[in-house]
Structure 1
């Protein structure tokens, strides 16, 4: 292999076989770096969340705390949408990041002073973790055209998978040296750095790859509830909202099951004398290792599978694969509940969700207007996910308190919910095809 051929092979491999056009490299690498730092931060903050909530509370309290996140977002999303209209996309991203960094420092200071912050931090982090990522992808989908986004988002999304993996690896080691508040401070620093490469991208994306944010702009809606109105008025957006709610309902039900299994493992281990560390350290180490494996697998899927699957099998197959795997997994566990294997299924579920499903879901927004990319997305992603959490908390309460279920009894319910999620995914694929065909017909008639 000649030196020039080796260089071309390396570039194709590094960029996942994506066709890069002149002037696109700097911008896409900057977006990659920004998303890398955002997800690196998230996986410093998640073990801190688990360390606090499972030492001050229980898996059941954890499931109820998730529900409060939906109530927080119900108040916050209208304000987010209203303020997004007054700033350009990059400036707004800087403002949101600065607010989140300040809040993190405040939580760390309050916790160090002796205040109980586990539940408020848990609630805030759940809202933050989806909002900051939705904010990034809204910025990206406005920055790039639909054609460029469908090519380049695969590379950008690799930053998420790699950042999550490296972050989980770092947190797995850092829990031995830092408490939850130290992890918060570290996360505040890396989050502050994340906006720097986004600024480079803002200046580097060539004109031919930029999106036209005014091309499909909807008439301005002055109501602060414009995002909710948009979602309720368009079938495509409503289906996406339903899908996100159901997908997160299934996932958080699985997270409850994993937490319950972890509590049982710790109780049995301490009783048998095989576990000698305190519960906070045990939980931190478990989730550090769990997220490390999840995100390593996510990186491998993103690097070797996602771009090739989208290019060879098409968007529809790529989008449907994750809900299909989740349904088959929970259905098989319902028929043969081997709980010892549950953690491995959760690794597979989360890895596909964070890599393949996340990339495909961001592509759903590319043909939409700026208002839909910001305000409707803020309803569909952050609020939709947290509404799924709220419904999950209700299911856990009814199951445990009224029906007197044990944790294993939730597995058949999760399988049924996964079937509904798969059905919504199929409807979204059909609606997307109809919308794209209608847009192409309009272009041909003009």
Structure 2
């Protein structure tokens, strides 16, 4: 690791290996996802925009059904085993889709494309959720503040490499070849995950700056439904869930605007795949620039609460929809999405993930899974149905964007409440961390992070 990066993110010599493995882990995960995402979008569009809105609802239902199964896996297996089982399952299912698309291409139609769309949406959420859960479990709160930004840069590099690779391979080799590429990167990600988990600190934990020691053979235990129950009982987790829903609804408006513009370019599957890849590439480059210039400094200087409380995202949404309504071009959409995703992923995501570093191990994997999968998709469903209702009124794309402007204004007007929520989350995180550092004989915490 270059000395300049070590100084920028304050990475200590003993932290170099796990941090580098974490960067490689996230790079491989995002490469696997972003190689496939353009194909997912193109296959989903075969049934039309209205069908995609209902696919959002189907995805939310599937994530609700899968969560207790994943919770059972977490309860019964040690950490590395349930992570490996999840990644290998998705790799095997990718292989099945590849065989279907190559051996029986006639069977690849609207229905199978919709199945792949829902499957990928679930796959996307679970592999990224598991990555950040392992990060919150492997590193302490202080470490997360110092180099979660650097780890996120690794993911962004993968998210840039993935669309670039998809754009180069989609037309000459065909869309099915992208699935094999994704399988390879998914297996590399699993290898890096094992390295991150096994790089344990060599001394007992003495301060918040040191990573917690985890016994890899230890099972988390508990119920398969513990994640959903913890979410309903903990105000801390409910606050994070509310934050996720707000982001998901506005991101869904932007997503369907993108689908409609690309759908207007033509019906060819490979053409759409290539266009989605180009848009993703531009978006991720903007995210990388934001991470390199702003994110690390902001996290270190202002802390989690103030980073979450920034009004950049609602203001970006407001100005972006106004610009889109005025111009209504694909170039304007790309610029809007690039800035929106850059602010969301470079600033908000690393800050939000540090909030989990002070939760219990069961909450890190089970409650986090419920929030990052089902709760997030529930926000998607709300956004998709509202956008669909506007579309059924017979409005054109520019008119739909114009109607979205007052919704963005309303979100900006609620920014103070949103900022208050973020500040409360950050303060609560600090209280939980402080209580956790207190002697175990004098203080314990209940499920809501309060002294009992």
Give the TM-score, by structure 1 length.
0.87
1:94 counterpart = 2:106: no
Measured in 1, the distance between the counterparts of 2:410 and 2:37 equals 26
Query: In 1, Cα distance between the equivalents of 2:415 and 2:187?
Result: 36
Residue 281 of structure 1: aligned partner: 270
Matched, 1:53 2:44: yes
Whole-angstrom CA distance in 1 between matches of 2:432 and 2:131: 28
Structure 2 distance, partners of 1:36, 1:13, is 20
**Structure 1 residue 320: Cα displacement:** 2.9
Between the aligned partners of 1:375 and 1:384, the Cα distance in structure 2 is 13
**Structure 1 pair 297–369 and aligned structure 2 pair: CA distance change class (3 A):** same
Does the 8 Å contact 2:145/2:299 carry over to 1?
A: no
Distance 1:441 1:32, change over 3 A: closer
Q: Which residue of 2 aligns with 1:396?
A: 387
The counterpart of 1:386, out of the listed 369, 377, 387, is: 377
Q: CA deviation at 1:37?
A: 0.3
Does the 8 A contact of 2:19 with 2:151 survive in 1?
Answer: yes
Aligned-partner Cα distance in 2 for 1:363–1:444: 20
> 1:239·1:424 contact (CA, 8 Å) conserved in 2?
no
Q: Does 1:412 find its partner at 2:405?
A: yes
2:200 touches 2:214 (CA, 8 Å); kept in 1?
no
Alignment of 1:299 onto 2:288: yes
Q: Does 1:125 align with 2:120?
A: yes
8 A contact 2:91–2:187 mirrored in 1: yes
2:200, 2:213 within 8 Å by CA — same for their partners in 1? no
User: For 1:91, what is the secondary structure of its paired residue?
Assistant: helix
- 1:357 paired to 2:351: no
Which of 357-366 and 425-434 deviates more? 425-434
Return the match for 1:183 from 178, 190, 203: 178
Deviation at 1:155, TM superposition (A): 2.1
Corresponding residue number in structure 2 for 1:5:
none
Matched, 1:170 2:165: yes
Shift in Å, 1:441: 5.9
Partner of 2:261: 261
CA–CA separation in structure 1 for the residues paired with 2:222 and 2:28 = 34
Cα distance in 2, alignment partners of residues 297 and 212 from structure 1: 36
Q: Distance in 1 between matches of 2:117 and 2:52?
A: 8
Whether 1:64 and 2:58 are equivalent positions in the alignment is no
1:240 aligned residue: 240
Cα distance, 1:212 vs structure 2: 5.1
CA contact (8 A) 2:31 2:159 kept: yes
Q: Does 1:105 align with 2:95?
A: yes
Which position in structure 2 is the counterpart of 1:430? Answer: 424
RMSD: 2.5
Which residue does 1:327 correspond to in 2? 314
Q: Work out whether residues 306 and 318 of structure 1, in 8 Å CA contact, stay in contact via their aligned partners in 2.
A: no
| Unaligned stretches of 5+ residues in structure 1 | 1-9, 268-277
Q: Does the Cα contact within 8 Å between 1:249 and 1:389 map onto a contact in 2?
A: yes
Deviations 1:302-352 (A, max 9, x none): 22221111122332232233xx23322333355562223233111111122
2-structure distance, mates of 1:384, 1:437: 25
Deviates more, 1:41-50 or 1:197-206: 197-206
How far the C-alpha of 1:416 sits from its partner, in A, is 4.9
- Structure 1 residues 60, 374: CA separation in 2 closer, same or farther (over 3 Å shift)? same
Q: Which residue of 1 aligns with 2:448?
A: none
Cα contact 1:70–1:386 (8 A) shared by 2: yes
- Matched residue SS, 1:149: helix
Q: What corresponds to 1:371 in structure 2?
A: 362
Aligned to 1:40: 31
Within 2, Cα distance between the matches of 1:15 and 1:165? 23
Partner-residue secondary structure (3-state), 2:196 = helix
Aligned match of 1:229: 229
Contact 1:168/1:295 (8 A) holds in 2: no
Gaps of 5+ in 2: 443-452
Pairing 1:157–2:152 present = yes
Q: In 2, distance between residues paired with 1:387 and 1:434?
A: 25
Q: How far off is 1:172 after superposition?
A: 1.5
Pair 70,425 (structure 1): closer, same or farther in 2 beyond 3 Å: farther
Residues 250 and 417, structure 1, Cα contact 8 Å, conserved in 2? no
How many residues are matched? 418
TM-score by length of 2: 0.85
Q: Is the 8 A contact 2:98 2:176 kept in 1?
A: yes
